């Protein structure tokens, strides 16, 4: 799955560092998801993250991940869809 793993928001909601293989929706968000493009890069990054969990799971980074997850929850996505439909002049009955 290259676009967006359905589990990613759950991982981010934990606040803990997430190391993933290429996931298109998060390529521009290295502050949220650590991403490796090759198996060798994944192994290297895993060693780096595992060796310094305190830095990767600092309170600031955990808060940023949780805030991102909260802003992209299913409820927030439904709100965005409803707002887009309302702005388009359609009636939305949720």
Model pLDDT for residues 22-69, shown as the tens digit of each residue: 888 899 999 999 999 999 999 999 999 999 999 999 999 999 999 999
Total-model pTM = 0.78
Which residue did the predictor score with more confidence, 13 or 94? 13
b/e burial code for range 43-52 (CB count within 10 A of at least 16 → b): eebeeebeee
Residue 15 has pLDDT above 80, yes or no: yes
Q: Which helix (H) or strand (E) holds 20?
A: strand 19-21
């Amino acid at each position: 799955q290259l676009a967006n793993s359905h589990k990613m928001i759950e991982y981010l909601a934990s606040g803990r560092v997430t190391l993933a293989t290429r996931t298109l929706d998060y390529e521009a968000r290295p502050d949220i998801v650590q991403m490796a493009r090759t198996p060798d890069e994944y192994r290297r990054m895993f060693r780096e993250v595992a060796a310094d969990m305190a830095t990767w799971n600092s309170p600031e980074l955990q808060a940023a991940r949780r805030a991102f997850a909260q802003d992209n929850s299913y409820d927030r996505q439904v709100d965005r869809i409803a707002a887009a439909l309302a702005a388009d002049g359609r009636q939305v009955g949720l």
